[in-house]
Amino acid sequence: MNDILTYDFMQRALVAAIVTGLTAPAIGTYLVQRRLALLGDGIGHIALTGVAAGLLTGTQPLVTAVVVSILGAVAIELLRTYGRTSGDVALALLFYGGIAGGVLLVNLAGGSAAQLNSYLFGSILSVSPSDLVIVAVLGAVVLLLSVGLSPQLFAVCQDEEHARVSGVPVQAYGILIAVLAAVTVTVSMRTVGLLLVSALMVVPVAAAQQLTRSFRGTFVLAMGIGTFAALAGVLGSYEIDTQPGPTIVIVALGIFLALAPVGHLVRSTRRRLSSTNDPVEEAA
């Protein structure tokens, strides 16, 4: 166990895992609160086109993926706000266009199935030193904004209408959330992969909610669970020779399954206690 930590690629993979484990659930908490849990999934699909564009043009795929997924995320947010016809269908067009276009372009660029696979499900061997710098910088920006602007982001996700009347620039913050989600997707691309990144945005939040009662508590615990799952997943994938993405997600789901009955028990006990203390029930 100790000797694998001395490998350079493993050290880079673990740092990337920590960044992913912190950022994905942080932005994921806002997405879940806004009932946009699957937004990350859609952005992941679109990001693949960005990766392919990088491979085709000989640019670093991480950079093109960031650019394309930010454009896609802003388009999704605008479609959501102004979409006259079914926003659902418009989103589906964008998502499937993204993944089909991405695979097509990777094929045209002469990319192998293994290479494509590494983008879709992560690959611990593939985090280059220059990747790591980009991941760390972008991850720090996401964390800084999602913590620093949490009162505003919370208000917008909790009740858009009230936030608007309070003078909060709702649309700007909506776009910011989408952009942060897009950046997080690309930051997580090497670790969990584009197809599973959304799971790391949602599953730790769902697991944390089993125990927490406040937004802040959920936010912090989800980041803790996400970091643990990402680290355990990366190390586990090396030990049992699997891809990191699925391994991380299975660890996160395992935590959720372990916490769900505990949360159920805690909630029902609490309800029983509060109903004996306060026998007056809602009449209306």
The binding site for other proteins (CB under 8 A) comprises 29, 32-35, 37, 148-149, 151-152, 154-155, 157-159, 161-169, 205, 209, 212-216, 218, 278, 280-284
- Residue among 8 and 161 whose Cβ is closer to other proteins: 161
**Least CB distance to other proteins at residue 251 (A):** 22
**Least CB distance to other proteins at residue 212 (A):** 6
The rounded distance, in Å, linking the Cα atoms of 47 and 65 is: 5
- Residue among 3 and 282 whose Cβ is closer to other proteins: 282
**Least CB distance to other proteins at residue 213 (A):** 5
Which residues, 6 or more positions from 248, have their beta carbon under 8 angstroms from its beta carbon?
A: 17, 122, 191, 192, 196, 200, 229, 230, 232, 233, 234, 237
DSSP-assigned states of every residue in the chain = -TGGGGSHHHHHHHHHHHHHHHHHHHHHHHHHHTT-TTHHHHHHHHHHHHHHHHHHHTS-HHHHHHHHHHHHHHHHHHHHHH--S-HHHHHHHHHHHHHHHHHHHHHHTT--HHHHHHHHH--GGG--HHHHHHHHHHHHHHHHHHHHTHHHHHHHHH-HHHHHHTT--HHHHHHHHHHHHHHHHHHHTTTT-TTTHHHHHHHHHHHHHTT--SHHHHHHHHHHHHHHHHHHHHHHHHHTT--HHHHHHHHHHHHHHHHHHHHHHHHHHHHHHHHHH-------
- Residue among 115 and 152 whose Cβ is closer to other proteins: 152
If one counts every other C-beta atom within 10 angstroms of the C-beta of residue 100, the result is 13
Sequence letter at residue 245: G
- Residue among 129 and 167 whose Cβ is closer to other proteins: 167
- Residue among 218 and 237 whose Cβ is closer to other proteins: 218
- Residue among 46 and 163 whose Cβ is closer to other proteins: 163
**Least CB distance to other proteins at residue 156 (A):** 9
- Residue among 47 and 200 whose Cβ is closer to other proteins: 200
**Least CB distance to other proteins at residue 182 (A):** 20
**Least CB distance to other proteins at residue 207 (A):** 12
**Least CB distance to other proteins at residue 161 (A):** 5
**Least CB distance to other proteins at residue 13 (A):** 30
- Residue among 71 and 155 whose Cβ is closer to other proteins: 155
